[in-house]
Amino acid sequence: MIMRMSLESYDKMNILLQRCFNANAVFDNLAYNLDYHYFNNIAKMVHLKVAHLMPEWADLISDKMLELSARPIRLQIGGYQEDYSNDLFKIFNVLFETLSEIREKTRELIESSDLDGDDEVRIFAENFLDIMSPYIKQAEEWLNASQSLTAAEFNIHIQDYTHFIR
């Protein structure tokens, strides 16, 4: 069976797959920190609406790879144990930066797949960029709110500052 994408697209898709699984670990650690420091409402939002979504995004990537006769591989992910205490700005900055990194890897995949003539990969990556866009915007909103509210106020009003994700 011949893979219907270039080796470069294959490698970049595996990296994107790894970034999604890694993001799940990063976001789980953020949620655990939030729960530990009694910001349970924020923790629930981060855990259920963002962290749990990362394996779903990984499945989208691996399913597309399999459809194009490419074998996904599970690259190593990091372990995360940093304690963020009650620094919500730092927590949401990590969330934003992690999502932004996935966005950048997706953009790199779009560019290289376009140059390599991997149309199915490029179209997939463009659609994937659209899927992730509201989550990046949501991270920006949370980052902004973390600068203007106390941590306790934000915990109580997290729903009032969640406008872009389902």
d(CA 161, CA 146): 10
Question: What is the structure's pLDDT at 141?
Answer: 98
Question: What is the structure's pLDDT at 1?
Answer: 76
The CATH fold of domain 7-71+84-161: Ferritin (1.20.1260)
* Contacting residues for 109 by C-beta, under 8 A, at least 6 apart: 9, 12, 13, 16, 121, 122, 125
The pTM assigned to this predicted structure is 0.97
Question: What is the structure's pLDDT at 142?
Answer: 98
pLDDT tens digits for the chain (166 residues)? Answer: 799 999 999 999 999 999 999 999 999 999 999 999 999 999 999 999 999 999 999 999 999 999 999 999 999 999 999 999 889 999 999 999 999 999 999 999 999 999 999 999 999 999 999 999 999 999 999 999 999 999 999 999 999 999 999 8
d(CA 110, CA 8): 11
